[in-house]
A and B are shown apart, each in its own frame.
Chain A
Amino acid sequence: MHDHNHECTCEDHGHSNPLVPTMVKVVKITDETPDVKTFYVTTEDGIPFKVMPGQLAMVSQLPVGEGMFSVSWQAEDHLQFAIKRVGLLTEALHEIEVGQTLGVRGPYGNGFPVDECKGKDMLFIGGGIGLAPLRSFIKYCFKHREDYGKITILYGSRTSADLCFKDELFDKWPKEKDTQVYVTIDNPEEGWDGHVGFVPAYLEELKPNPEGTIAVICGPPIMIKFCLQSLEKMGFNDEQVITTLEMRMKCGIGKCGRCNIGHEYICLDGPVFNLAQLKQLPPEW
Chain B
Amino acid sequence: MKVLPSDKIREALNILAGEAKVYAPMVQGDASGYFQWSDNPVGELLLDTLNTYMSPKNIVMPQTEDMYKFVAQGKDAQVTEVVYAGGPRIIFGIRSCDLQALHDLDLVFLTKGYEDEFYKARRQDLAVIARACYQPGPACFCESMGVDRLNPQADVVMHDLGQQDFAWEPKTPKGEEITAKLQGILVEKDVTLPQAAEMKTKVDITGLSEKLAGMFEDPAWDELASRCMNCGVCTYVCPSCYCFDIQVTTRGDAGGRFRCWDSCMYKEYTQMAGGHNPREFKKERFRQRFLHKLQYFNERYNANLCIGCGRCVIMCPNSVNILEVITKLKEVRLDA
Contacts and interface: CB of A to CB of B under 8 A. Distances in A.
A208 interface: no
A263 B296 contact: yes
A20 B297 contact: no
A86 interface: yes
A17 B117 contact: yes
Contact of A63 (B82, B114, B255): B255
B116 A246 contact: no
Interface in B44-87: 67-68, 70, 72, 75-79, 82
Contacts of B245: 250, 256
Given A62-B255, A103-B79, A6 B273 contact: no
B231 interface: no
B69 to A, nearest CB: 11
B274 A87 contact: yes
Contact of B262 (A84, A102, A246, A257): A257
A7 B115 CA distance: 10
A248 interface: yes
B269 interface: yes
A86 B274 contact: yes
A282 interface: yes
Highest count of chain A CB atoms <10 Å: which of B76, B113, B245, B299: B113
Contacts, number: 129
For the complex, would chain A's binding face be called helix, strand, loop or mixed by DSSP majority? loop
Interface in B250-269: 250, 255, 259, 262, 264, 269
Given A250-B246, A257-B262, A263-B296, A23 B77 contact: yes
A257 B72 contact: no
Interface in B285-302: 288, 291-292, 295-297, 299-300
Given A23-B79, A62-B70, A263 B300 contact: yes
Contacts of A7: 113
Contacts of B269: 248, 258
A228 to B, nearest CB: 17
For the complex, would chain B's binding face be called helix, strand, loop or mixed by DSSP majority? mixed
A260 B296 contact: yes
A84 B275 CA distance: 13
Interface residues of B, number: 50
A221 B276 contact: yes
A84 to B, nearest CB: 8
Interface string A45-63: 0000000000000000111
Given A253-B114, A257-B244, A263-B296, A97 B75 contact: yes
B279 interface: yes
Contacts of A268: 112-114
B242 interface: yes
A101 interface: yes
A6 B79 contact: no
Given A23-B78, A257-B244, A263 B299 contact: yes
Contacts of B248: 62-65
B290 to A, nearest CB: 13
A259 B194 CA distance: 46
A21 B79 contact: yes
Nearest to A88: B273
B180 interface: no
A77 to B, nearest CB: 20
Nearest to A98: B75
A20 B276 contact: no
A246 B272 contact: yes
Nearest to B269: A258
A137 B299 CA distance: 31
Contacts of B229: none
Contact of B243 (A23, A246, A256): A256
B270 interface: yes
Nearest to A67: B273
B61 to A, nearest CB: 10
Highest count of chain B CB atoms <10 Å: which of A17, A67, A221, A251: A17
Given A8-B113, A17-B82, A62 B262 contact: no
Nearest to B300: A263
B244 A250 contact: yes
A1 interface: no
A87 B78 contact: no
B108 interface: yes
Nearest to A260: B296
Contacts of B115: 10
Contacts of B273: 67, 86-90
A284 B72 contact: no
A277 interface: no
Nearest to A259: B270
Contacts of A66: 246
Interface of A: 6-8, 10, 16-21, 23, 61-67, 84, 86-90, 96-97, 99-103, 221, 246-248, 250-251, 253-258, 260-263, 268, 282-285
29 contacts: A10-B114, A10-B115, A10-B117, A18-B117, A19-B246, A20-B79, A20-B82, A61-B77, A62-B72, A62-B77, A63-B70, A63-B72, A64-B248, A67-B273, A86-B273, A87-B274, A221-B276, A247-B270, A248-B269, A248-B272, A251-B244, A251-B246, A253-B114, A254-B112, A255-B244, A256-B262, A282-B216, A284-B216, A285-B278
Interface of B: 67-68, 70, 72, 75-79, 82, 108-109, 112-118, 216-217, 242-246, 248, 250, 255, 259, 262, 264, 269-274, 276, 278-279, 284, 288, 291-292, 295-297, 299-300
Closest 7 CB pairs of A and B: A87-B273, A257-B243, A62-B72, A86-B274, A253-B114, A263-B296, A6-B113
